[in-house]
Amino acid sequence: MADYKAPLKDMQFALRHNARLPQLAELPQFEDASDDMVSAILEEAAKLAGGVLSPLNVVGDQTGVKLVGDDVPTPAGFSEAYQQFAEGGWGSLQFDPEYGGQGLPYSLSIPVMEMWQSANMAWGLCPLLSQGAIEAISVNGSDALKATYLPQLISGEWTGTMNLTEPGAGSDLAAIRSKAERDGDHYRISGQKIFITWGEHDMTDNIVHLVLARLPDAPAGVKGISLFVVPKFMINADGSLGERNDARCVSLEHKLGIHASPTAVMSFGDNEGAIGYLVGEENKGLACMFTMMNNARLAVGLQGVAISERAYQHALDYAGEREQMGVILKHADVRRMLLTMKALTEAGRALAYDACASLDFAHATDSAEENTRAALLTPIVKGWCTELAQEVTSLGVQVHGGMGFIEETGAAQHYRDARILPIYEGTNGIQALDLVGRKTLFDKGVAAQALFAEMEETLIALQGQGDFAKEAERFAAALALAKEANAMLLEEGAKDRQWPGAVAFNYLMLMGTLAGGWQLARSAVVAAQTDEGDATFLQAKVLTARFYMAQILPRCQGYAAMVLNGAEDILAMSDEQLASSWYS
């Protein structure tokens, strides 16, 4: 199979026209983000992704990882690739120059992150988790904690992990039982954590675990959770590594996909208690987690885009080579599948980049509107872009026909790897509840209406180009349905607590499908007018938007009807009736 080719033209187009990078580069703190600089960074990243990480994807899947004593040797080539990544400064783009970061916009780091995830998602999870740890410490940590941990995390000398889940505490963090006891200037942590991504490995000398635990006198529930830094090896005063901490990987999970990413069961405090340092304040751990949650959720949505891109390239290559009554690329149904893959991927990319840009604007200009906009878009990006990844990677298998089911072909790996995305970092059911609850009912729909107003502007622009009359009509119809569904959600949600939860997922899919179409409409309006750039690419951009409006956007009709049909039929059946088809 061919190695990954970074879709640089589409990435730069989306940065420029969907994520407003030129406007961002006008801000004083981002003056370095010139067009030339951006091109240079993306082209260099593309080399590492396509030339080094992508060839390791299959071998990583086949070799997998095993626990050997206390250690987890990574597949051949993984550690060397990581060294190249760290030496290239790829983990430091968006971080604070005070701690060795490059101070570039977060939204510029996004296409770079996309490349790692496209090239090798199992490997790419390692820097993605480090990024979360860096954010949690940066925002909430004391100066001492920052000075001790940030430089090595940002340089990539160490990696980071997030330790939230326990066997009885998944979506419900209130159920966390891990303990933290005060012990002088630090704490002693004990407990078991599961599903810890890259919890143990051999690519760096140290691993910095961020761990949620509960103090003995903590209030019950989520208001009694604190966040701690627990290093694998202690740090001496001179910065050198000291003794092994009392934190160990005790087993690895056997998973459907991302075989090369070690998913650890971590045991803290089997002996004297693992030494941990408080991040932020006692009992405010959940708030600390939330500071990084937006970014992490956007990053998982981006993984959905990334693996979709890879699956698309894979399928397109095959379809151009395989002969069955002519090359199969020429068959109308194969083209439908490929275009569906391409259109969903590009819609997801533009949407994810745009949402990330809002976070940049929010931070750089202290804009409450941009912050609210990012908060609204986050569950849509996480939820919809990971759902579309299921569809796109499945189409990737289908384009390969019988060969798609054979592991050596590689299409099945994308399909298996992608299946984690709707689950981790908050299941898509949780995202949907966040969207209808905190992001819509809580502000009485203000943020949603602001987004609809942006879409209206795009609609007017579409209508202004006679060539897009049909597309404008299709987009207007979907937008009207979404507004209707939104109005009903506000009305029914005010009356009944169960109603929003029952319709939440279809409302999320409605908003995602619409927002994806909106982004492609924005792209098409620009692409049809500009002569800046590659004509073939620009024409394809217009045709992709047309395809989406005709062949994907109509899904909104179904989603909207499901929301408007309400919760009644979803909640009517009893537990006993659910199990009434067989004799028990």
Identity of the residue, 84 or 551, whose beta carbon is nearer to its own copies in the bound complex: 551
Q: Which is nearer to its own copies, 76 or 573 (CB)?
A: 573
251 binds its own copies (CB under 8 A): no
Report the site for its own copies in 213-232 (rule: CB under 8 A): none
> Which of these ranges, 25-33, 80-88, 369-377, 411-419, lies near its own copies under the rule CB under 8 A?
411-419
DSSP state of 166: B
Instruction: Find all residues with CB under 8 Å of 248, minimum gap 6, and list them.
Output: 70, 200, 266, 267, 270
Decide whether 346 or 360 has the Cβ nearer to its own copies: 346
In whole angstroms, what is the distance from residue 31 CA to residue 364 CA?
12
Q: What is the biggest distance separating any 2 CA atoms in the chain, rounded to whole angstroms?
A: 76
254 or 271: whose CB is closer to its own copies? Answer: 254
Give whichever of 246 and 434 is closer to its own copies, judged by the CB atom: 434
CB under 8 A: which stretch of 72-80, 103-111, 183-191, 552-560 binds its own copies? 552-560
Using CB under 8 A, which residues numbered 59 to 118 contact its own copies?
none
H/E element holding 227?
A: strand 226-231
Total of chain residues touching its own copies, rule CB under 8 A: 108
Distance CA 114, CA 121 (A): 9
- For the bound state, the minimum distance from the C-beta of residue 443 to its own copies, rounded and expressed in Å, comes to 21
Smallest gap, in angstroms, from Cβ of residue 515 to its own copies?
17
Task: Name the residue nearer to its own copies (CB basis): 14 or 357.
Answer: 14
- Choosing from 200, 346, 387, 425, the catalytic residue is 425
Which is nearer to its own copies, 50 or 156 (by Cβ)?
A: 50
**Does 425 interact with its own copies (rule: CB under 8 A)?**
no
Stretch of 94-102, 146-154, 418-426, 487-495 lying at the interface with its own copies (CB under 8 A): 418-426
Question: Of residues 344-363, which lie at the interface with its own copies (CB under 8 A)?
Answer: 346
Instruction: Take residue 402 and report the two structure tokens written for it.
Output: 């019988």
From 211-219, 353-361, 404-412, 522-530, span contacting its own copies (CB under 8 A): 404-412
Of 143, 243, 495, 536, which lies in the binding site for its own copies, with binding defined by CB under 8 A? Answer: 536
579 binds its own copies (CB under 8 A): yes
Are 215 and 224 in contact, with CB atoms under 8 Å apart?
Answer: yes
Q: Give the x/- contact pattern for its own copies in 151-190, rule: CB under 8 A.
A: --------------x--x-xxx-xx---------------
CA 399 to chain centre: 26
Contacting its own copies (CB under 8 A), which of 87, 405, 444, 491?
Answer: 405
- Residues in Cβ contact with 443 at an 8 Å cutoff, skipping those fewer than 6 apart: 372
Q: Note whether 530 binds its own copies by CB under 8 A.
A: no
C-beta neighbour count of 577 within 10 angstroms: 9
Let me know: does 101 contact 154? Beta carbons within 8 Å: yes
In order of 137, 156, 186, 228, 393, the CA distances from 246 in angstroms are 21, 23, 14, 14, 41
Residues 306-335 that bind its own copies (CB under 8 A): 313, 316, 320, 323-325, 329, 331-335
Q: Is residue 234 near its own copies by the rule CB under 8 A?
A: no
- Binding of residue 398 to its own copies (CB under 8 A): yes
Point out which residues pair with 244 in neighbouring strands.
233
- Annotated catalytic, 321? no
Least distance between its own copies and beta carbon 22 (Å): 20
CB of 562 to its own copies, least distance (A): 5
Supply φ then ψ for residue 244, to 5 degrees.
-70, 135
Q: Please give the Cα distance from 464 to 528 (Å, whole number).
A: 12
Interaction residues for its own copies, span 451-510 (CB under 8 A): 474, 498, 501-502, 504-506
Under the binding rule (CB under 8 A), the answer on residue 531 touching its own copies is no
Comparing CB distances to its own copies, the nearer of 79 and 165 is 165
* Nearest distance in Å: CB 33, its own copies: 21
**Nearest alpha-carbon partner for 129 in 204, 22, 38, 179:** 204
Instruction: State in angstroms the smallest separation of the CB of 282 from its own copies.
Output: 24
Rg (CA), the chain: 24
Nearest approach, Cβ of 540 to its own copies (angstroms)? Answer: 4
Nearer to its own copies, 189 or 562 (CB): 562
Q: Is 253 a residue that touches its own copies (CB under 8 A)?
A: yes
- Alpha carbons 182 and 226: distance in angstroms, whole number: 12
Q: Which of 428, 458, 486, 519 binds its own copies (CB under 8 A)?
A: 428
Amino acid at 175: A
Question: How far, in Å, CA of 398 to CA of 401, rounded?
Answer: 5
Stretch that binds its own copies, among 77-85, 293-301, 370-378, 559-567 (CB under 8 A): 559-567
Q: Are 516 and 351 in contact (CB under 8 A)?
A: yes
Q: Alpha-carbon distance 331 to 314, whole Å?
A: 17
DSSP state of 17: I
Residue 158 burial (CB count, 10 A): 24
304 touches its own copies (CB under 8 A)? no
Q: Measured from the CB atom, is 138 or 313 closer to its own copies?
A: 313
Q: By CB neighbour count within 10 A (0-12 exposed, 13-18 middle, 19+ buried), where does 576 fall?
A: exposed
Choose which of 410, 422, 493, 517 interacts with its own copies (CB under 8 A).
Answer: 422
Two structure tokens written together for 356:
């990330």
- Give the separation between CA 74 and CA 80, rounded to whole angstroms: 10
Q: Is 6 in the site for its own copies (CB under 8 A)?
A: yes
**Inter-CA distances, 472 with 17, 42, 342, 455, 498, Å:** 19, 33, 21, 11, 35
Q: Which of 10, 114, 200, 370 binds its own copies (CB under 8 A)?
A: 10
Distance, CA of 238 to CA of 202 (rounded, Å): 23
Please tell me the distance from the alpha carbon of residue 173 to that of residue 169, in angstroms, as a whole number: 5
User: Which residues carry out catalysis?
Assistant: 425
